Structure 1
Amino acid sequence: MKYNFLIHLSIQLILLIFSVGCAAFPDPVTSSERKLQPIDKNKIKVVFTGFYRYEQEKKVLLETLIKRGLVEDSNSNLELELILQKKDPVYKYLFLHRINLLATFLSGGMIPSHIRTEQTLTFRYSKLGVIERESVYHIGMDQWRGIPVIILMIIQWPTRIYKEQLVEATELEIKDI
């Protein structure tokens, strides 16, 4: 009976460490453009695609666009679609990544685990359904979980880093218009 309780308590402690102790280190935001046409940013309809879990980020991006001179008009012929897409991360050494996750679990979080997160933020401008310009920004970060990163997570919290990267991509886009 005591052993079952200790095992259950140990599992809960490990899960708590994985869910609380996380720090993220961002990659530089990079971009690629597909079509270049000058865009009139006076009045534009803004549409968000792929932000169903990111309501706060969506609000921050809309505020950033408005601060930079964009006027939102839901009846405009010019549409700006912001598309957020998750990419599958590519690990250079997948076997070592799996060993790292196992070692973190078996050590109770004493050995930090590494997780890679990659997404793209696309700005697609269209007028009456015809795409006039499309810019794709690549956003990525390395996340570390475990007991040794608890101190770093105060300044490198993943959601804060993610919001900063989205805003940086938006500001880069608005600067190029």
Structure 2
Amino acid sequence: MVNNDSKVYTLLHLVIIIFYFSCAAFPDQVTSKERKLSSIGKEKVRVVFTGFYRYEQEKKAILETLLKRGLTIDPNSDSELELILQKKEPTYKYIWIHRLNLLATFLSGGLIPSHIRTEQTITFRYSKLGDIERESIYEIGMDQWRGIPVIIIMVLQWPNQVYKEQLIEATELEIKEI
């Protein structure tokens, strides 16, 4: 016979699991700044990834995009393309509303969705024999919503997929400049 306490704990665990795994993301437009006009050309390059230690799938997608667009990769080349992924501190217009939203989500058990902002930059740095020739920085951002009501839209807007698409978009924008 199952007592009522175990039913409550089971229900509480289910709500926590649903809250944890129900997340939807809505991307910002990928923007670029600090562009330099000189190009590394179509020569062979060595590709180095910095800051991608948790993003193996995204790294593979970027590498595939570079290869599809005609970039030739040679680990022994004097020319280097370094891709640097950096997390930025998110900016909230009204931080007190953000904190109140997180508290309301916690107290409602996930019935009120919480909003989290994610911002990162990806830098394409071209160098030859150690001298930096060109650098492009792309800003990537998305708004993530977590909570039980988000389950309906999370199938189409899963954060990992949205993030990978943004990195590929930044790579394609960069390749147009090569």
Q: Same fold, TM exceeding 0.5?
A: yes
| TM-score, normalised relative to structure 2 | 0.93
**How many pairs align?**
177
Matched, 1:154 2:155: yes
Q: Counterpart in 1 of 2:117?
A: 116
Sequence identity percentage? 70
Deviations 1:5-42 (A, max 9, x none): 46643542342122211100000000012433121222
CA contact (8 A) 1:14 1:105 kept: no
Greater CA drift, 14-23 or 63-72: 14-23
| TM-score, normalised relative to structure 1 | 0.94
Matched, 1:101 2:102: yes
Cα distance in structure 1, aligned partners of 2:80 and 2:38: 14
Q: Counterpart in 1 of 2:40?
A: 39
Cα distance in structure 1, aligned partners of 2:23 and 2:54: 19
CA contact (8 A) 2:39 2:177 kept: no
Q: Counterpart in 2 of 1:77?
A: 78
Structure 1: where are the runs of 5+ without partners?
A: none
Cα distance in structure 2, aligned partners of 1:50 and 1:4: 46
Cα distance in structure 2, aligned partners of 1:22 and 1:71: 37
4+ long deviations beyond 3 Å: 2-11
Alignment of 1:110-149 (within 5 A): 110-149=111-150
Residue type at the aligned position of 2:170: A
Cα distance in structure 2, aligned partners of 1:91 and 1:17: 26
Deviations 1:121-162 (A, max 9, x none): 000000011000000000000000111111100111111100
Cα distance in structure 2, aligned partners of 1:97 and 1:44: 44
The structure where strand makes up a greater share of residues is 1
Structure 2: where are the runs of 5+ without partners?
A: none
Residue type at the aligned position of 1:96: I
Greater CA drift, 38-47 or 165-174: 38-47
Pairwise CA distance, 1:98: 0.8
Cα distance in structure 2, aligned partners of 1:22 and 1:170: 25
